[in-house]
Each structure stands twice: as C-alpha cells, then as structure tokens.
Amino acid sequence: MSEVAFATYQQLPVMTDDDRLVADILDSQGITVSSAVWDAPNIDWLGFACVVLRSTWDYHLKPTQYANWLQRCSSEGIRLWNPPALVLANLNKQYLTELAANDIAVVPTTYLRASAAQQLRNVLERCELDEVVIKPAVSASAYGTWRTSLATADADQAKFEEQTRAQDVLIQPYLSEVASQGEWSLVFFNGEFSHAVLKRPAAGDFRVHREFGGSSVPADPPPNLVKQAQGVLAQVGSKLLYARVDGIERDGRLILMELEMNEPFLFLGSCSQAAERFANAIRDVI
C-alpha cells in the first residue's frame, strides 16, 4: 500500500473538502492519503510515496522558510509535486515578465524592486497607465493587492511607500474584463486539460477570491483558449502534476494573469470528473 501526503498549513491542518474528494478515490484504490503541515517538525517526508502541495496557503507570509523547505525537498530527494525547482521559480510573480519575454500574452507587468524612493504618480505616468492594480511579487489570495489611479495617486502615496519599502511589487493595468466577462481558471493534470471555471468579483470589488465575495461557476472555455493555455504550460519545459492557468479573454486571445504551480485551489467540486482525473494523475506519478 502506498501513502501520499497532502501538504497543508497550520491554520487548516486537515484537507479541504475538495481535496478530500481525491483522497477518498485514492483510498478506495489502496493508496492512503494523509494531511501534513508543511512546516511541522519531525515529519518524515521521505516516507511518503509522494508529497502533493495542496493548501500551503501561508507560504507568502513565510517566504524564506517556505523556500528553504522546498530546497530541502529537492536536496533530500523528497518526491514533491510539483517539482521543487519549478515551484521555487513560481513563487515570485516576476515569472510573468519572463513569460512575456518569450512571446506569451501576459497582462502588462511592471516589476518594482523594494525601495524607499518610489513615487506612485511618477510610476503610473512612466507606465502610461491610469487605473492599476498593485500586488506584492510574492502573494496569495489577493493578499496586499489593491487598486489605485492617477486621480488618487497623491492620496495613496503613503500606502504605496509603506508597501514598496517592505517588498517587491507588481504594477498592472486594471482589467475591466474581470468584472464584465470573468476571469478564466483552466485546470490541467499531467499536461491534459481537465476543466475550467469563470470567476467574478463581488459588486464594487475587483478581486475574484472567495475571501472578498468573489464567485465562480463551471464553464466550457473556447478551444482556442485551451490551446493557448497549453502553450503557456509548454514554456515550463517539465512535467507538472497539476497547473492552473488564469487569465482573461480579449479578442480571442488568452491574456495570462497567473500560472499557478504551487498551491492553487483546483475547483474539483465543480466538475464531476475532476477529482477522479486528479487521483489518476497522482497515481501515475507514484
């Protein structure tokens, strides 16, 4: 009998309801699944047939500790999925600028390194942007993400200074399609498309996350969007157990907002076959 660990975090050490769907399928096939907090002491990670990153949702609050754990997994040969090197490269959203350099259609992104001498109005004027979204380069679930504009730049300067003194940030144009059409999340297992959802923010907000009132509905993406998402994954160049490609559709093009390879919510309950597909993918990598 093989044993699999789903890596979780201290605030929610047990599996999510979505992940339990997968665990139940694997259990029925003789593969036991247990949850394990990623930074808990004295866990024998080498004792698992594989370790699957699932709800390590505090990594952005402990970025150095998390990166060290990933590096340990790599150096000790812990069978982590996705592979530690790929996850490490995915933690900092600077990867978006690298994908853009490889001709992937990415939401225009300006990367600002932490500095005490940033003037928000000057940054927006230099980028020729009016309404923007600012987010930490290492973040999850819209943590530290906010909107501003040329009209409010002076009033927002103190907030901007405080954030940019502490961390690298991204400046991106506000995408109205997120509210009007929805943001796509396309989920892949072992490189194969599984299912998708459309996410929308609550009225008056811009964040699609459930924590901020956002919603999601199952949806069938146009085939050309799936093909373009596969093109994004092709840039990774290595096998992935799972990935979530997030973006908007504009004139038939997928504009990439995130390529999630670390701990994305996979909307397994939104598709009747999704949990089984994920279970099959896990069984394949054991």
Confirm if 139 and 145 have CB atoms less than 8 A apart: yes
pLDDT tens sequence across 134-174: 999 998 777 889 999 999 999 999 999 999 998 999 999 99
Domain identity same for 216 and 251: yes
Domain identity same for 122 and 8: no
Judge if the upstream peptide bond of residue 42 is cis by omega within 30 degrees of 0. no
For 223, the domain range is 95-105+177-270
Domain identity same for 20 and 72: yes
pLDDT value, residue 201: 87
Domain identity same for 260 and 132: no
Structural domain includes residue 281? no
pLDDT tens sequence across 189-212: 999 999 999 999 888 777 787 777
Domain identity same for 101 and 237: yes
Return the residue matching tokens 């990415």. Answer: 106
Look at the chain and report how many structural domains it folds into. Answer: 3
Structural domain includes residue 37? yes
Q: Which residues contact 145 (CB under 8 A, 6 or more apart)?
A: 133, 134, 135, 136, 139, 207
Q: Is the pLDDT of residue 237 over 90?
A: no
151 or 214: whose pLDDT is higher?
A: 151
pTM of the predicted protein model = 0.94
Q: What is the C-alpha separation between 160 and 116, in angstroms, rounded?
A: 10
Domain identity same for 35 and 129: no
Q: DSSP class of residue 25?
A: H
2 or 152: whose pLDDT is higher?
A: 152
Q: Average pLDDT, whole number, for the chain?
A: 93
Q: Could you give the percent of the chain with pLDDT greater than 70?
A: 99
What is the SS3 assignment for 136? strand
Q: What is the C-alpha separation between 220 and 198, in angstroms, rounded?
A: 9
Domain identity same for 192 and 99: yes
Domain identity same for 100 and 212: yes
When computed from its CA atoms, the radius of gyration of the chain, rounded to whole angstroms, is 19
H or E element at residue 1: none
pLDDT value, residue 192: 96
Domain identity same for 100 and 215: yes
Query: What is the Cβ-side half-sphere exposure of residue 75, based on CA atoms within 13 angstroms?
Result: 6
Q: Average pLDDT in the 210-235 region? A: 91
Angle (CA) 47 49 54, round 5°: 100
pLDDT value, residue 117: 79
Structural domain includes residue 277? no
Structural domain includes residue 39? yes
Q: Which of 36, 58, 90 is the last residue of a domain?
A: 90
Domain identity same for 130 and 185: no
